[in-house]
Amino acid sequence: MATRLIKPTPVDVDLWPILEAALRQDDGSVARAHLAAGRAIYYSEDDTPRDTVIKEHPDGRRELVRFDIQGEHRIRDLA
């Protein structure tokens, strides 16, 4: 006997207010933990060019990168 899958009902939820509230409560502890564990973090600042993000390495190096279907592309080093 085949199992019949039931399509879930769409939910009208605006996620932006939820995400914005979470960001306001961010104290940076998760980012610091990632860096301490030897992993890079990604973020943007007010002056970060459109379609790019800042990649910060555990050693403090920062790069401007962008992503596309082929993956991550380094644009340039940041001071």
Which of the two residues, 76 and 28, has the higher pLDDT score?
76
Q: Is the pTM of this model over 0.95?
A: no
Q: Is residue 3 part of a domain?
A: no
Confidence (pLDDT) at 20: 84
Q: Is residue 78 part of a domain?
A: yes
Q: Is residue 71 part of a domain?
A: yes
What is the DSSP track for 3-56?
PPPPPPPP----HHHHHHHHHHT--SHHHHHHHHTT--EEE--TTPPTT-EEEE
Task: Express each pLDDT in 8-59 by its tens digit.
Answer: 677 777 888 888 888 788 888 989 999 999 999 999 999 999 999 999 999 9
Measure the CA–CA gap between 38 and 43, rounded to whole angstroms: 16
Instruction: Report how many domains make up the chain.
Output: 1
Q: Is residue 57 part of a domain?
A: yes
Q: Is residue 52 part of a domain?
A: yes
Q: Count CA atoms within 13 Å of residue 34 on its CB side.
A: 13
Residue 67's domain spans which residues? Answer: 44-79
Confidence (pLDDT) at 1: 53
